[in-house]
């Protein structure tokens, strides 16, 4: 449940901040007439994300067991790839996200209503589709038939909406760089578990060999139905009897990805190269973006 709460919070807050920046900019520039197209784009993005999740859930029920496992395993790998790209991308662009969105919105205002709808849709839709896919794969990995993963994701999204509203009203300041670093690191750990479980699904579908070759079995020490076994599974997708392939894939993904993401220099932080003033966040508007100083209507 916690891992899905984290997914909902992280993705939801990204979308909330994007909407907040777009709305605040339109209000400040006296373009309240453009608010309806922006909200329309947001609504379309949300509906498409919900429809995508609906198709994943109910469309897969008509498949055979092996086909379901193959689909679940394949989508788990896709979800991990998307989430990994997302955490690195946000880590590098959090400083100048505000300026980037303002530029896109200025261009959309010049092009008309359709462009405004498309701008809001694209800004929010990516997070919505990623959330739907990652939550679905996480629920599929849980496999206990309980609504807890969905409740966790819903609570995370609700928290994100509340934080976004407080941010817009000026009641909250968030250091975006630190927030996305910590939540990104935790999501990498969650993604490693989803990836390992996806590989297990592919093994059950006979797409990947080694289903019977167990790396270890601690089921007697950590029973899957115990409270701590359930907690480990819910947070990290922990499996007490993983295969050798699962453990190998988990280590090969987690160690280099987490090390690169938390590195003080290089690709993860965007340092180690000459930057323009805008990228470094030295201008007043960029510093406010990094520290998430709330815009006021």
Q: Most confidently modeled of 30-39, 61-70, 195-204?
A: 195-204
- DSSP of 164-204: HHHHHHTS----HHHHHHHHHHHHHHHHHHHHHHHHHHHHH
What value does the mean pLDDT take over residues 203-232?
Answer: 86
Backbone angles phi, psi at 29, to 5 degrees: -90, 10
Q: Residue 295 is inside which H or E element, if any?
A: none
Q: Is the pLDDT score of 288 beyond 70?
A: no
Lowest mean pLDDT among 9-18, 99-108, 238-247: 99-108
Q: Where are the alpha helices (DSSP H) in 60-175?
A: 65-93, 97-111, 113-142, 148-169
Name the packing angle between helices 2-28 and 176-204 (round to 10°). 140
DSSP percent split of the chain into helix, strand, coil, nearest 5: 75, 0, 25
**Among 43-47, 48-52, 84-88, 208-212, where is mean pLDDT lowest?**
84-88
Question: Of the candidates 130, 166, 168, 171, which has an alpha carbon nearest to the alpha carbon of residue 10?
Answer: 130
282 has a pLDDT exceeding 60: no
DSSP H or E segment with residue 94: none
Q: Which of 3-12, 17-26, 126-135, 210-219 has the highest mean pLDDT?
A: 210-219
The two three-digit tokens of residue 91, written as one number? 């880590």
pLDDT at residue 257 greater than cutoff 80: yes
pLDDT at 108 over 60: yes
Which of 255, 105, 82, 87 lies closest to 177, judged by CA?
A: 87
Query: Which pair of tokens denotes residue 43?
Result: 């609504």
Question: Is residue 296 scored above 70 in pLDDT?
Answer: no
CB 183 within 8 A of CB 9: yes
Instruction: Output the pLDDT for position 215.
Output: 94
Mean pLDDT, residues 255-271 taken together? 71
Q: Kindly state the average pLDDT of the residues 201-219.
A: 92
């Amino acid at each position: 449940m916690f891992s899905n709460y984290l997914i909902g919070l992280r993705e939801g807050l990204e979308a909330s901040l994007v909407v907040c920046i777009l709305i605040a900019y339109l209000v400040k520039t006296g373009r309240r007439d453009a608010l309806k197209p922006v909200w329309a784009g947001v609504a379309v993005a949300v509906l498409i994300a919900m429809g995508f999740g609906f198709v994943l859930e109910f469309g897969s029920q008509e498949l055979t067991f092996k086909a379901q496992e193959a689909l679940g395993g394949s989508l788990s790998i896709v979800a991990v790839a998307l989430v990994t790209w997302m955490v690195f991308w946000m880590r590098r662009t959090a400083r100048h996200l505000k300026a980037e969105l303002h530029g896109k919105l200025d261009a959309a205002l010049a092009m008309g209503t359709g462009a405004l709808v498309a701008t809001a849709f694209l800004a929010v839709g990516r997070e919505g589709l990623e959330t739907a896919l990652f939550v679905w794969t996480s629920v599929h990995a849980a496999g206990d038939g309980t609504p807890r993963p969905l409740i966790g994701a819903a609570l995370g999204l609700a928290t994100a909406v509340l934080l976004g509203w407080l941010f817009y009203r000026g009641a909250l300041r968030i250091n975006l760089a630190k927030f996305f670093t910590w939540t990104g690191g935790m999501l990498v750990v969650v993604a490693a578990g989803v990836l390992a479980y996806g590989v297990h699904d592919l093994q059950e579908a006979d797409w990947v060999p080694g289903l019977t070759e167990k790396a270890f079995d601690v089921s007697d020490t950590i029973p899957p139905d115990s409270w701590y076994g359930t907690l480990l599974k819910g947070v990290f997708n922990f499996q007490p009897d993983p295969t050798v392939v699962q453990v190998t894939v988990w280590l090969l993904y987690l160690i280099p990805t987490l090390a690169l993401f938390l590195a003080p220099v290089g690709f993860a932080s965007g340092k180690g190269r000459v930057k323009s003033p805008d990228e470094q966040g030295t201008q007043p508007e960029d510093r406010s973006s990094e520290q998430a100083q709330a815009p006021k209507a």
